[in-house]
Amino acid sequence: MKKILIILILGLILLNGCINDRRTLELRETEKKPYTCSYNKFNCDDFKDWEEAQLGYYICIDKKGYDVHHLDGDKDGIACEVLR
Ligand SMILES: [Ca+2]
């Protein structure tokens, strides 16, 4: 019983770590303005570099299931080729 409790607590600590990493990632993303996937708000030139644009693309794919900001016009899975 004690072992199960320890494993459960370790699992919760690990899970919390993952969530915090994700928040850090999104905060870095939001230095210019709060990042959202609710509506088409961002263009490629709103991101500081290609890596950030690609991250923004992935975040909305993950949250909404599609390219909310139309960052990948040719739909090859690579956002904002113009920034590379
Ligand atoms: Ca593309």
- pLDDT tens per residue across all 84 residues of the chain: 777 665 565 565 555 555 545 544 454 555 556 788 999 999 999 888 999 999 999 999 999 999 999 999 999 999 999 999
- Residue 77 Cα to ligand 1 middle (Å): 6
Supply the range of the domain harboring residue 60: 26-83
User: Residue 59: how many CB atoms within 10 A of its CB?
Assistant: 18
Could you tell me the pTM of the whole model? 0.63
- Residue 54 Cα to ligand 1 middle (Å): 10
Is 18 domain-assigned? no
- Residue 82 Cα to ligand 1 middle (Å): 9
Structural domain total, the chain: 1
Is 10 domain-assigned? no
Is 37 domain-assigned? yes
Dihedrals phi, psi of 49, to nearest 5 degrees: -160, 180
- Residue 72 Cα to ligand 1 middle (Å): 4
Give the closest residue to 61 by CA, choosing from 75, 43, 48, 82.
Answer: 75
The DSSP H or E segment spanning 59 is: helix 50-64
Is 72 domain-assigned? yes
- Residue 51 Cα to ligand 1 middle (Å): 13
- Residue 34 Cα to ligand 1 middle (Å): 23
